[in-house]
Chain A
Amino acid sequence: MTQQQTAGPPSAGHADLAEEFLDRQTPLSRIRNTLHRYPALSPALVLLIAVVVFGLLNERFLRVENLSLITQQVSVVGILAIAQTLIILTAGIDLSVGAVMILSSMVVAQLAVNEGLPGPVALLAGMIMGLAAGALNGFLVTRFRLPPFIVTLGTLNIFIALTLLYSNGATVRGSAMPDLLTWTGTTFPVGPVRISTGVVVMLLLYIAIAFILGKTAWGRHVYAVGDDKEAARLAGIAVNKVLMSVYLAAGAVLAIGAWIQIGRTNAASPNAGLDLNLDSITAVVIGGTSLFGGRGSVWGTLLGALIVGVFRNGLSLAGLDVLYQTLAVGVLIIIAVSVDQWIRKVKS
């Protein structure tokens, strides 16, 4: 872009160079600039097309019960993906999100059932577990300057082992837990549909995080740190504090995810949801958040999670084998990352 501008007519002088550049766009680069400016736009289009196509393939797809089911199916991954978005925005990646959530859910369930602690206290302990896990990841990333990929690959295994050691590999049934813990699995009627409480909690969390990322200085600093760490430091941002707070926030979100998971599956199982790590990354990537950091939004992530849910549900309603769902998700990831690369070419 710099080259294009300096190659412009010398008479441009004091003209508004930015506007001058915008006027000289081809239709394709205009689309690219629009997508660049609104990263949630491309996943929104994909979701819309997917919904229309699957609706035409099978009339059951667009029924409200089915749509409600899809939202319930994505609620756990949706929450994990919020935590994942926060980390990826800082140019990191968290392989341990699923393991942290399961560990937190086992702590909650065990304390409530085996130790007989009241529901709120058990949930608080789960929250502390989530924060502690986030603090460990954040500490290793900021203090020892280890790549987040390596740190969370290590803690992934540590958290899985801790979960199995702590639970002795046993599942805790939802029926034995206080009602509060399975409350997120309950549904309430809205007109003809039943909405799951867990889905509402997930949406509220999306609204809260979108607000914090978009409207507060902290949110802006998260983007700045992911965009260019050194530039952020020179601008006076305490980079390590921001990174640490991001990992803590992710841990807190994962603890809420543990609560949703217990409600959704009506149990706490140490073996559940280990593939959720990759699903959360998939949702973030399809949602248009850049793995290079500094670019993206949680709304894109919500759309990404919904796209995966819609594909899985739609393909299974269309009578295709589960393997084809996996195949489709794989293709989606490659396309999403390719589009991201193409959009990033706006950068000079």
Chain B
Amino acid sequence: MTASQLESTGTDVRQPILQARNLVKTFGRVVGLDGVSLDLYPGEVLAIIGDNGAGKSTLIKCLTGAEIPDSGELTVSGQPVHFKRPQDARAHGIETVYQNLAVSPALDVASNLFLGREERVPGPLGSIFRVLDTKGMRRKAKEELTRLGISTLQDVTVPVENLSGGQRQAVAVARAAAFGSKVVVLDEPTAALGVRESNQVLQLVRDLRDRGLPVILVSHNMPHVFDVADRIHIQRLGKCAATITPKSHTMTDAVAIMTGAATA
């Protein structure tokens, strides 16, 4: 028993960054999650798909601290964690880009990147008078955008409302990538975007993965999912119906599993 356990950990060199086991979440009589398990490995894009009401959002919310699961275990890099609020997940390096874009339109790009974790100037001016290090934050914002290869955002002093939908999404993703040291979760990042802007965001997802940052991508858009995902977790009726890869299955297969017309 012990030997086989050692053997299995020995052969699988990849330890999951984020691991969920038997997550259950009910809302009154409605079962949102019915024992869902999920593994996220370093450097992969894991897509989560499923019909409306299949439990995609609930699963994501349990992983990012927006909901507390009734039972089940969650580990980050092998350490058990219990998220009570989004800040807890954030403290463990899990950053989420929400569907409704958590950016403040009137604030500029740099202010948005650092919103909620502003940096102060060093010395008494910062510690006593709490003066913001605006210049430093702008410089770092610029560096971060360059590092992520977001070439469409050169001027970090532009208010976000002056940006296109794709650029706003890029700001939100950049914020997650800048502070998400372990996992970036994207909830429907291309839902409101045009073709060109969607492609920019998908490229950003690939770039994040290539830098070794695992990404969880929730999407309704099958072509986008099959375009960037390494593995696809299919939710159906509160359970994980299957975990497939774009190589092993076609889009038609995925839709069939999603709707219950077929099993993996």
A residues within 8 A CB of B105? Answer: 227-228, 294, 347
**Interchain CA distance A347-B103 in the complex, whole Å:** 14
B residues within 8 A CB of A227? Answer: 104-107
Most chain A beta-carbon neighbours within 10 Å: one of B100, B106, B120, B131: B106
**Interchain CA distance A346-B161 in the complex, whole Å:** 8
The one of B115, B131, B134 in contact with A235, judged by C-beta atoms closer than 8 angstroms, is B115
Residue A166 lies at the interface, judged by CB distance under 8 Å to chain B: no
Task: State whether B164 touches A1 (Cβ < 8 A).
Answer: yes
B residues within 8 A CB of A5? Answer: 164
Task: State whether A232 touches B104 (Cβ < 8 A).
Answer: yes
**Interchain CA distance A2-B101 in the complex, whole Å:** 16
Task: State whether A231 touches B87 (Cβ < 8 A).
Answer: no
B residues within 8 A CB of A347? Answer: 105, 161
Q: Which residue of A lies closest to B109 (CB)?
A: A18
Q: Give chain B nearest CB distance to A108 CB in angstroms.
A: 29
Task: Kindly state the interface size class of chain B when it binds its partner.
Answer: 35 or more
Residue B21 lies at the interface, judged by CB distance under 8 Å to chain A: no
**Interchain CA distance A6-B132 in the complex, whole Å:** 35
A residues within 8 A CB of B98? Answer: 234
Residue B209 lies at the interface, judged by CB distance under 8 Å to chain A: no
Task: State whether B104 touches A231 (Cβ < 8 A).
Answer: yes
Interface positions, chain A 284-324, Cβ under 8 Å from B, are: 294-295
Residue A342 lies at the interface, judged by CB distance under 8 Å to chain B: no
The one of A218, A228, A235 in contact with B130, judged by C-beta atoms closer than 8 angstroms, is A218
Task: State whether A215 touches B104 (Cβ < 8 A).
Answer: no
Q: Which residue of B lies closest to A236 (CB)?
A: B116
Given A215-B131, A234-B98, residue A18 in contact with residue B162 (CB < 8 A): yes
Residue B154 lies at the interface, judged by CB distance under 8 Å to chain A: yes
B residues within 8 A CB of A216? Answer: 129-132
Task: State whether B164 touches A220 (Cβ < 8 A).
Answer: no
B residues within 8 A CB of A220? Answer: 107, 111, 115, 118, 132
B residues within 8 A CB of A346? Answer: 161-162
Residue A278 lies at the interface, judged by CB distance under 8 Å to chain B: no
Residue B194 lies at the interface, judged by CB distance under 8 Å to chain A: yes
Q: Give chain B nearest CB distance to A207 CB in angstroms.
A: 13
A–B complex contacts, Cβ < 8 Å, 5 sampled: A18-B158, A215-B132, A224-B104, A228-B103, A235-B102
Q: Sorted from nearest, which 4 A-B pairs have the closest CB atoms?
A: A234-B102, A236-B116, A217-B118, A235-B116
| Residues in chain B within 8 A of chain A (CB atoms) | 86-87, 90, 96, 98, 100-107, 111-112, 115-118, 120, 129-132, 134, 151-155, 158-159, 161-165, 167, 194, 196-197
